[in-house]
Amino acid sequence: MQRNVRLLLRGLFALVALALAGWLAMGVAAGNLSYKSILVVLGLVHPLAFAAVALHCLRNRREAAAMVAWLFVAWSFPFIGPLLYMAFGINRVHTKGWQKQRSNDVLLTARREREDASLPLAYWRALRVARAGKPDAEYDRELDGTIDHILPHCPLLGGNRVEPLLTGDEAFPRMLDAIDRATSHIHLQAFIIGNDSVGREFLDRLKRKAEAGVRCRVLYDRFGSTRGWASGLFKPFANTPGLDIAGWTQTNPIKRLNQFNLRNHRKVLIVDGKEAFIGGLNLHEGNVTRPDRQPIRDYHFSVAGPIALELQYAFLQDWYFMTDEDPAALLTADLFPRIEPVGDALIRVANGGPTADVEALTDITCAAIDDARKQLLIVTPYFVPPTDILRALRLAARRGVSVQVVVPKKSNHFYAGLAGQALYDELLSAGVQIYERQPPFMHAKSIIVDDRVSIVGTANLDNRSLRLNYETNLVVFDEPFANALKRIVLDDMAQSEELELAAWRSRPTYRPVAENLCSLLAPVL
């Protein structure tokens, strides 16, 4: 009822605005409308438009600074200001994200209908309960309990194995080998699939497996893979039986989607529901060694065990949203097979995105920072986090935790690098250590807490990953893995230059201006 009333009011407002614009245009054209009359009309319309903007701001909670800024723009720039607010000031993320949430709920309902002793997913339900574990350390149990409240549908599962893989040189051969060994199905999700030797190699392998009877599904982000899509990369594979390829987009008039700002940044490969790969690697040749250049520095991870089923389900949620494939075909025993324990790692999947859990990754990151007692190692290619995370980092450093952040010295997006540098002074002043890694560009992401807990996956430490993108991280409670990952991070630190506060403050005067200017883009970086 309320939604219908809002739509009616919007329609009436649009009709009035069009009628007024038409009246002004015809009056000016006919020459029978004086400028004084025009000014009187505009003088009445401007405060009404400003009042509408002010009312919308007050009805929809937002940060005070943003509200004041939009009110200033709406009043200072008649007509243009309200139009700018309508185009850029209204937060439609939750509305569009809610469409994805409804899709997730439909699939969840279908899944629950099958979690019965006589149906295929009964084993999955039993496995989730049987393999759920608790960390040994008290602080880690507290962290896990916090995450349990944030993401109650993603349990902590034991019996897993996780292994770090550096760059595409290590990861791609392992991923291709897993594809070649597949016997039932393969699910591949990527932000970028390049129209180059790497992208084509993966698609060729999948085509061969599909022709051999293995069911293959590929989901790529339409924005991230624009070049590949526009250059016809996927066309030769479109009619291959058993190989379905879909582009993720929330700009689709048929499905009433018009939000190009929401992207799917997940990068996951699941093979036979038992083995998976996840991390920062996109499928293009920039991630492998070439005669003329080194590969992008990135972390990817091979995982096996019960957690693969959680990654499988996360993929199917996205696939169902884009394709509307029958849940009966997605929630089958073939896609959720019996899995025996293969290791000792306790792992929880942490999905994030503009759905009901829009702040999930931010909350989990803050909880992990608060959990640190000795050391916090952070690696991220883009460092533009929300203020909550910045405050948590400063407080951790001030309570004696060694907080070390590794970022690339030269960003592949200069504006993102400058926006992050605008935050360095307040962090360095609090005792946070910042290391800038020398080229090649570092695209890796990880958080290590006290050599016990690790957070790895697809999310960068920026507002886009934490609030706008659909992302998947793994929270790993396993000391051997944390130590193996720490050795890799320490190697990156050895290739880095530590920033000193005094030297940082002596940088050229134009730099802070450029940094603060780029920081205005922080909400979408």
Q: Where are the domains of the chain?
A: 2-92, 94-146+158-344, 360-524
Strand pairing category for 446-449 and 375-379: antiparallel
Report the range of poorest mean pLDDT among 70-74, 134-138, 170-174, 197-201. 70-74
Closest C-alpha among 484, 473, 406, 475 to residue 451: 484
DSSP 77: S
- Dihedral angle, C-alpha 206, 208, 211, 217, nearest 10 °: 0
pLDDT band at 16 (very low <50, low <70, confident <90, very high): low
pLDDT of residue 328: 85
Q: What is the mean pLDDT of residues 273-283?
A: 96
Q: Are residues 511 and 419 in contact, defined by beta-carbon separation less than 8 angstroms?
A: no
pLDDT of residue 89: 60
pLDDT of residue 254: 47
- CA–chain centroid gap for 363, Å, is 14
360-524 adopts what CATH topology?
Answer: Endonuclease; Chain A (3.30.870)
Q: What is the mean pLDDT of residues 58-80?
A: 70
pLDDT band at 9 (very low <50, low <70, confident <90, very high): very low
Mapped onto helix, strand or coil, the DSSP state of residue 471 is strand
Exposed, middle or buried, 156 (CB in 10 Å: 0-12/13-18/19+)?
buried
pTM for the full predicted model: 0.84
pLDDT tens profile 193-207 = 999 999 999 999 999
What region, left, alpha or beta, does residue 243 occupy, with left being phi > 0 and alpha being psi -120 to 50 degrees? beta
Where do we find the tokens 């970022």? 407
Residue that wins the pLDDT comparison between 345 and 255: 345
Q: What is the mean pLDDT of residues 462-490?
A: 94
Whether residue 190 is predicted with pLDDT greater than 90 in this model: the reply is yes
pLDDT band at 301 (very low <50, low <70, confident <90, very high): very high
Closest C-alpha among 315, 361, 104 to residue 190: 315
**Helix, strand, coil in percent for the chain, rounding step 5:** 50, 20, 30
Domains 94-146+158-344 and 360-524 share a fold: yes
pLDDT of residue 147: 93
What is the CATH code for 94-146+158-344? 3.30.870.10
Q: What is the mean pLDDT of residues 115-133?
A: 60
Closest C-alpha among 512, 446, 510 to residue 481: 446
pLDDT of residue 256: 46
Chain mean pLDDT for the chain: 85
Whether residue 292 is predicted with pLDDT greater than 50 in this model: the reply is yes
- CA–chain centroid gap for 364, Å, is 14
Percentage of residues of the chain with pLDDT beyond 90:
55
